[in-house]
Amino acid sequence: MLTKSVMGIKETPIMEVANFGREFAKKTGKEVFPAWFGEGNKPTKEIIFKETIKSLKEGKTFYTYQNGLPKIREAISNYMNDVFKIRTFPENQSLVTGGMLGIKIICDMLIEKDDEVVIVGPVWPNIRSSVILKQGKINEVDLKLEDKWKLDINKLFSSITENTKMVFINSPSNPTGWMLSEEEQEEILSYTRKKGCWLVSDEVYHQIVYDREVSSSFLKFSKPDDKLIVINSSSKSFNMTGWRVGWLTHPSFLESHIAKLVQISTTGVPEFLQEGFYSALVNYKSIVSEVREELTKSRNYVFDRTKNWKRIQLPFTNAAFYCFFKVNEMTDSVNYAKYLIEKTQVGLAPGIAFGNSGEGHLRLCFASDLDFLKKVLSRLEKELS
């Protein structure tokens, strides 16, 4: 018999659609164009993986530090301080096997059965599943779509009760591209501080912005012992999704607890991957500027090409790399995404995967090159314009 908590988690509807698409491709022999996951078709840059190859040749193939090599923690700290103009230290940084493991470790540290967790949605489904696995109770506060996505901050505050253990916010947001302002961050942090609950901020898209240097971080307003944990990742900023390298920025008293949880999960990020990631961190300016330049072209192309499509509503976004659009009169996004695969051979993520407030929407990841996007949009145009 499996545990109730495992039985309580469902496969995400994104995977359901992706599996349908893969099966469809196998059965029909037709190519399916995948824009369903949060990654494009651009591999990691050579300046990063050169260091990994070198370190493998040097025999760096042994167990490593649980929270990351000292030099990596220092490099992360320098990166964070430089990017956000803040003051953190290596003991505030822990390397983890992707932002995803970071989320899992946070839930293992903070959530017990029936603890309330406030989540701002629509949001990436794995966050919800990680809370469900710990048998936490989710109270979702939905962003509202006006001319753009907006948070009603009073609604957020009134959802926080004395039983709230954690507030989870992902800004810049996957799937909407919504971003919190500095003022909102300051206000939210001072509220959770007053209430005594944890604030967990998923900032994995902080470099994927088009109208500013970087998105704002809650860390700009925090004190050393605030109950604040920030999740980050190499995946999006450095095209490193498959590497599974991320980090947490946390109060120093969490360092040893995170180390225990790393020990009994992955026992640490392989040293040769840490060496590659080190190179990404110290060269971040040039890498991020290249990644952003490519993404800007893709974003402009996709928004320009779809701007007169009659069947969809797509608010312009200045962050992340998704078009999250409403399809008029569509109410079953899983079935509609499957229909689009059959009709157009394009794979999109169904909006319901991101919460009830996402139903009626589809998400297209535009982090790919223009050739790919041209093919995808020409196919979708027949159905959605």
Ligand X SMILES: Cc1ncc(COP(=O)(O)O)c(C=O)c1O
Interacting residues toward ligand X by CB under 6 A: 38, 98-100, 124, 170, 174, 202, 204, 233, 235, 241, 246
The amino acid that residue 230 corresponds to is V
Residue among 205 and 384 whose Cβ is closer to ligand X: 205
Residue among 169 and 330 whose Cβ is closer to ligand X: 169
What is the Cα–Cα distance from 156 to 367, expressed in whole angstroms? Answer: 31
What is the Cα–Cα distance from 222 to 228, expressed in whole angstroms? Answer: 8
Closest distance of CB 124 from ligand X, Å: 4
The amino acid that residue 369 corresponds to is D
Burial of 105 (0-12, 13-18, 19+ CB in 10 A): buried
Pairing of strands 116-121, 246-249: unpaired
Closest distance of CB 128 from ligand X, Å: 11
Residue among 232 and 306 whose Cβ is closer to ligand X: 232
Closest distance of CB 369 from ligand X, Å: 20
Give the three-state DSSP class for 117.
strand
Residue among 228 and 384 whose Cβ is closer to ligand X: 228
Extract the tokens encoding 44: 């990691």
Residue among 149 and 330 whose Cβ is closer to ligand X: 149
What is the Cα–Cα distance from 219 to 92, expressed in whole angstroms? Answer: 11
Residue among 98 and 347 whose Cβ is closer to ligand X: 98
Give the three-state DSSP class for 313.
strand
Phi, psi of 115 (to 5 degrees): -65, 140
Closest distance of CB 162 from ligand X, Å: 28
Pairing of strands 137-142, 322-327: unpaired
**Torsion (CA) 184, 186, 189, 190 in degrees, nearest 10:** -120
Closest distance of CB 320 from ligand X, Å: 8
Closest distance of CB 342 from ligand X, Å: 26
The residues, any chain, with a CB within 8 Å of residue 288's CB and separated by 6 or more, are 207, 237, 238
Residue among 167 and 330 whose Cβ is closer to ligand X: 167
Closest distance of CB 30 from ligand X, Å: 27
Burial of 187 (0-12, 13-18, 19+ CB in 10 A): middle
